[in-house]
Amino acid sequence: MNKLSEKQDPTFGERFVVPLVIIFVTAPFLGFPAAMYWYGEPKNYWRATPFLTILVGMVFGLALLHHRVLRRYRCPQCGRRLPQYSGESDPEKAREYRFLCEACNVLWTTGLKSGAD
């Protein structure tokens, strides 16, 4: 029986960080003109619609990303769906998103901590 090894998920960056950066770069690009439109003339409530749509879209995008990557985490090696690892007694380490693959005998670490995302 091999000893459980702890590895950094090599695909986590492209699966989570890249889309996250895209959202944070795209949102102001779209949001800024939409905000200008909102403050333009004539004043009415409808002018807020594009900005609020982008805002809702951004929140929705973040929630979807979070759900897909963290709630439906797959082993980078064998592709199995893994539950979040909860066997950690150290509270500082337990805050990090980690996933145990029993088939590969690997504890995948993401470097991402809950509460910080």
Please give the residue ranges that form the binding site for Zn ion (CB under 5 A): 75, 77-78, 101, 103-104
Q: Least distance from C-beta 75 to Zn ion, angstroms?
A: 3
Q: Which is nearer to Zn ion, 34 or 82 (CB)?
A: 82
Report phi then psi at 107, rounded to 5: -100, 110
Q: Least distance from C-beta 84 to Zn ion, angstroms?
A: 15
Rounded Cα–Cα distance for residues 112 and 16 (Å): 10
Q: Least distance from C-beta 89 to Zn ion, angstroms?
A: 23
Rounded Cα–Cα distance for residues 87 and 100 (Å): 9
Structure tokens at 52: 């609020």
* Ranges of H-type helices in the chain: 12, 18-39, 49-66, 91-94
Q: Which is nearer to Zn ion, 77 or 109 (CB)?
A: 77
Q: Which is nearer to Zn ion, 20 or 75 (CB)?
A: 75
